[in-house]
Amino acid sequence: MDIEKLYSVAAECERALEGEFARIDANACACTDKVMEAFRKNRLSASHFASGSGYGYDDVGRDLCDRLFADSFGAEAGFARHSITSGTHALAIGLYALLRPGDTLYSVTGKPYDTLEGIIGIDGRGAGDGNLADYGIKYRQTELGEGSKIDLERVKSVLCEDKSIKVVFVQRSKGYQDRRTLSASEIDELYALVKSVSDAYVFVDNNYGEFCEPTEPKADLLCGSLIKNAGGGMAECGGYIVGSSRAVELASYRLTVPGIGLEAGPSAGQNKSLIKGLFYAPHTVAQALKSAVFAASLFERLGFDVYPKASEPRYDIIQMIYLKKRENLIRFCQAIQRYSPVDSFALPMPDAMPGYADEVIMAAGTFTQGSSIELSADAPLREPYSVYMQGGITYESAKYTLIRAAGEVLDGD
């Protein structure tokens, strides 16, 4: 299909998406209100952008940044650090912080994200690397029920019967799975249930869900990456953890050491990008949501199944497109790369990746390496050859790239 024809299909999509775009804008406003209130209440000033060094004692900018994250998420406490390597690292900090030998980690959303398998010790590599199993921490899971809903009845009976459960784990976003993303209110319902029958902590893998809804889920810990939603496309690296005071305190002892917690750890020049990233996050997430909705509409019109559909409610920024064939998947990812602002000359190829079971192809022509709030596409090379695309720090640039990717898939097909 020639590019002019594709642009006219894109224009049809945009006309049909006016209502969706308006809903996304309204959500961005609601989330921005929370963030603006946090900034005002905490009296951010230019002096907070000064950089701490060394041990980072009295790094007031870092402390203020922590408060901004906690308040923006509606949490009692929290921290954001450039020194947290990734979303996986943030999750590991939280898990090691709350679990003790003899405790059980209980996932209520089935198998967690691939990179957590090695942390839990269910990746088949056995003992020795210091995974949770090495420390005598047990693991069990309950699959999602009908319609990818949390099986609350089953969860209740497991919690009543197994008193060793210390952490109830929820993955909010679908990740690389073929399932629904949970809404914040569904997680709130789980939270109420857990608290009514046990003392367990509720722990949420919040990656990709931040600022997609006006309020974040209730939890003792919410963890995520700053090169996804919560970094607003501005943070250069890092992760965050927010939640209840005690759980965050325990996490702070795992971030540094017991007794030091959040007292040390210099912001080392990263403070401004983290704070500015949080300021941008609701807007940037809206750009990503519009890009996802546009991709859904475009590929659907071109004859591909998509999930979620353009008009379905969405609680994260991930868009799945069922590309039917391995070759389409590779072509799509290569085109996303070819029409990206950075590294457009690189050619992504399927390969093995540490932490992932299948071969994976990843396209990310991003300003920040591996950032997936910037337009990026990943796919495990397995049936039904669905690509997971996410991000777009400007809708306009994502539209440019997606139209061209659609053209290349159609030409190859």
Ligand X SMILES: *Cc1c(COP(=O)(O)O)cnc(C)c1O
> Does residue 109 interact with ligand X by CB under 6 A?
no
Nearer Cβ to ligand X (114/220):
114
**Footprint on residues 164-183 left by ligand X (CB under 6 A):** 171, 173, 175
Binding region for ligand X (CB under 6 A) out of 67-75, 86-94, 335-343, 393-401: 86-94
* 388 lines the binding site for ligand X (CB under 6 A): no
Q: Which of 56, 61, 87, 238 binds ligand X (CB under 6 A)?
A: 87
What DSSP element (H or E) covers 155?
Answer: helix 152-161
d(CA 94, CA 205): 10
Give the Cβ contact number of residue 55 at 10 Å.
13
The residue type at 262: L
Shortest distance (Å) from residue 184 CB to ligand X: 15
Closer of 173 and 198 to ligand X (Cβ): 173
86 binds ligand X (CB under 6 A): yes
**Taking a C-beta distance cutoff of 8 angstroms, is the pair 355, 114 a contact?**
yes
Query: How many residues interact with ligand X (rule CB under 6 A)?
Result: 12
Give the CA radius of gyration of the chain. 21
- Is residue 88 close enough to count as binding ligand X by CB under 6 A? yes
The distance from CA 214 to its chain's CA centroid, rounded to whole angstroms, is: 16
Q: Shortest distance, CB of residue 113 to ligand X, whole angstroms?
A: 4
CB of 226 to ligand X, least distance (A): 9
Please report, for residues 164, 186, 222, the alpha-carbon distance to residue 244 in angstroms, rounded to integers and kept in the order given: 21, 19, 9
Question: What is 179-219 written as a DSSP string?
Answer: SPPPPHHHHHHHHHHHHHH--PEEEEE-TTTTTSSSSPPP-
In the complex, the smallest distance separating the C-beta of residue 351 from ligand X, rounded to whole angstroms, is 16
Closest CA to 402 of 315, 288, 311, 309: 288
**Which 189-248 residues touch ligand X, going by CB under 6 A?**
205, 207-208, 225
Q: Which is nearer to ligand X, 232 or 407 (CB)?
A: 232
Both tokens of residue 5? 């024809």
Is 86 or 287 the residue whose CB approaches ligand X more closely?
86
Which residues are near ligand X by CB under 6 A?
A: 86-88, 113, 115, 171, 173, 175, 205, 207-208, 225
